[in-house]
């Protein structure tokens, strides 16, 4: 399952992800991973949520990013949710087709390993491809 939080830069998408991850960790049995482009939100997250600063790893394109996610999941089969902040940036996506194809692959990973992905996308909901509209849980 993939859920999307949309909105222009500075509208509060990261706060929505932080709040949801902190709330979810109280009720799930497994692990939560929060992937961001820096470590600046380390103290905003519950200590049980693992923060991964993607900039510390040699990931340079969408394929490598999806491989990285698969590697993280392979190391911990207890992961239930992954929060991906600034998805377009951390996954090296700059086109609608790139977004759609990466989310198709992400959906396959989700189904295969039973991991829910919650991502933030710096776009207005109306600017997303129509196929993705049903995945939007918050539009800021």
Model confidence band, residue 47 (pLDDT cutoffs 50, 70, 90): very high
In tens, the pLDDT along 90-122 reads: 999 999 999 999 999 999 999 999 999 999 999
From CA 116, how far away is CA 118, in angstroms rounded? 7
Average pLDDT over residues 14-36: 97
Average pLDDT of every residue of the chain: 95
- The confidence score (pLDDT) of residue 70 equals 95
From CA 94, how far away is CA 50, in angstroms rounded? 27
Share of the chain above pLDDT 90, in %: 96
Across the chain, the runs of DSSP E, i.e. the strands, are 2-6, 31-36, 50-53, 79-84, 116-121, 136-139
* E strand or H helix at 113: helix 96-113
Best CATH choice for the domain 2-139 from the list 3.40.50.300, 3.20.20.70, 3.40.50.80, 3.40.50.1820: 3.40.50.300
Model confidence band, residue 35 (pLDDT cutoffs 50, 70, 90): very high
Domain boundaries defined on the chain? 2-139
Model confidence band, residue 140 (pLDDT cutoffs 50, 70, 90): very high
Q: Could you tell me if 5 and 123 are in contact, meaning their C-beta atoms sit under 8 angstroms apart? A: no
In tens, the pLDDT along 58-99 reads: 999 999 999 999 999 999 989 999 999 999 999 999 999 999
Model confidence band, residue 52 (pLDDT cutoffs 50, 70, 90): very high
Q: Could you tell me if 62 and 56 are in contact, meaning their C-beta atoms sit under 8 angstroms apart? A: no
Query: At which residue do the structure tokens 């999307």 appear?
Result: 4
Model confidence band, residue 138 (pLDDT cutoffs 50, 70, 90): very high
């Amino acid at each position: 399952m993939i859920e999307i939080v949309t909105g222009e830069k500075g509208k509060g998408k990261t706060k929505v992800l932080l709040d949801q991850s902190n709330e979810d960790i109280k009720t799930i049995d497994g692990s939560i991973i929060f992937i961001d482009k820096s470590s600046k939100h380390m103290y905003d997250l519950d200590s049980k949520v693992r923060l991964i600063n993607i900039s510390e790893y040699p990931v340079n394109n969408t394929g490598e990013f999806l491989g990285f996610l698969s590697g993280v999941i392979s190391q911990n089969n207890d992961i239930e949710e992954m929060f991906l902040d600034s998805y377009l940036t951390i996954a090296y996506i700059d086109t609608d087709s790139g977004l759609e194809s990466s989310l198709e692959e992400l959906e396959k990973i989700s189904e295969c390993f039973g991991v829910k992905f919650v991502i933030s996308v710096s776009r207005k909901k109306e600017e997303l491809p129509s196929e993705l509209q049903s995945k939007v849980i918050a539009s800021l």
